[in-house]
Structure 1
Amino acid sequence: MRRLEIDKTEESVRFVARYYQPGRFDSHKAWLQMGERLGITPKRRSPIMMWRVAAVAIVVITAGILYLTAERGDTLIAGYDHTEFTLPDNSRIEMQEGAKLKYDRHFDKTERRVSMHGEITFVVAHNEAKPFIVSTPTAQIEVLGTEFTVTADDDDTRLSVASGKVRFTPGNPVIPLLCTAGMTVHYSARTETVNVTSPGSRMEINGKTRSLTFNNTGLKEIVMVLSHFYKVQIELPESESDLTFSSSFTQESIIEIINIINFTLDTHIILVE
């Protein structure tokens, strides 16, 4: 009898988690549907039934996360800091209070794509066939399997990588940045500025002023940024890719920048026509 009551309470929890939506929850219909599921005709709200509903409410409140199911997928909203949840692909997330995450009904079937707002730490399950993609109001982040934290609002996106590799692509300028452990990225859509910090180096890209700042940045990264920033193809000898360079440029042409780097480092970077 005790096991039966527990099973029915768990089913009640699942019922509320599945069907609750703000402003659309019909309590009368819910009583009828819940009664059918539990094998009870709810003509009168018995003490046992009231206890079950109270238990459901306690579980939902203490869970610290509001779990809404809609026709297009699921929405998670954190009620307090350090709220943990496991996604259908077994990726784990830790949400700070007020953070919001959405994914549709195709998640982990054809792709792994979520959208978010607030601060969320991701520990992504590795799956090379289905890259994990996080969309914020101002950027897109793509990973294969790693741990990272994203903080996002309508104007800014911040990324901090704990392990693995992450591809961060700001809204404008559209430059895919490969980020590894220890790197952080801050993108401001208002100023169209990307700041990338990694151990021992720093880089700033400003789309509005058309300026670039490199501080002890690897040539491989610089060439990649220049290629996307100026929408050209640049060739860098493999033997020179590990060299680093520091300088700032504002509205210089791509030819001027390549000439300055080659003259400074005695390198052989060329612009492919």
Structure 2
Amino acid sequence: MNNTITQLFLKYILNQCSKAEIEQVISLIKDGHNDSEWLAAMELAEQENHFESNLSESHKANIYQGIRKAGQFKPRSNQRWWAYSAAAILLVASVGLWLQRSNNPSTQPQAVVINKAESKPLAQTGKKWVKLPDGTSVQLNANSSIDYPDSFEGLKERKVTLVGEAYFDVKHKEAQPFVISTGKLTVTVLGTAFNIKSSADQSQITVTVTRGKVKVQKEGQTLGLLTQNQQLSWKANAIQPLLKQDHIDPKVAIAWKADDLIMDDVTLEEAANLLAKRYQLKVHFDNPALRQCKFTAAFLERNELTQMLNVIGDITNTKLTVNAQQTLTLSGAGCN
């Protein structure tokens, strides 16, 4: 193992590299023979920041391979060096942000994903975007957790347990309802998008629907059927739930979602849909084969859409553009 390379990778992970060092890192990773140095640098980064990593060895290796792939693309002629390097830098941002924020965990509550089949939590500070086994996407707010099985196959219901706040975009499966248990309430859906917020002691729960229809129940009794732009608020000490049907702006309820954007081993289709929801865009693929191209990246709240599109494009060898009609178009040869 080359200790010099390990130390250089460590500087890269901690965002301490100069322009020349970043170019050297990309060159070394493109070479494809420094896997052990990369994993050693990840371990050192964890030790220097005094926290225990929940990233598996395969996840660390996937980040390495993602940076290697990003380094295979040449920068556009009108891009500065840092714009090109961002394609690789942001691939480790999910690690870098974690390292930075873990130094002050008391001010950064965790979003936790618990997979029963693995019998261990997968945690990341701040908010977390999760893809469930059925394709449903969940965005967890800070200090929230979700518990779900390794697979929904063969089950009558797709049942998960939520503590805290999350935004769900449920994959439609008419024969297999999606059921969320939170405190004393259950929310049943077939395919829709909605937000659930429960207090720390689960004595107050609010459900807001942004698309589709959901049923809210307590101990088998239906409290309400909600459709788009409707909200139900329930309090443990209230005789009847407060059902708001008019003048509900769902953007207020889901304003917390507008924050750092983590894309962990997602397809271009999943990423495009996530950006479309965030920026009110339509999505069009010129080449359908692009839909299944996978990548890993992370973006800060302050990153502009154009920068994100350029980075994703460099990583996946794809051109992403938004026209005046607010349509996000993805074109190109894409992944191999």
Greater relative contact order structure (CA < 8 Å, 6+ sep): 2
Task: Look at both structures and tell me which one has the larger radius of gyration over its CA atoms.
Answer: 1
Which is richer in helix? 2
When normalised by structure 2's length, the TM-score is 0.41
**TM-score, normalising length from structure 1?**
0.49
More strand by share: 1
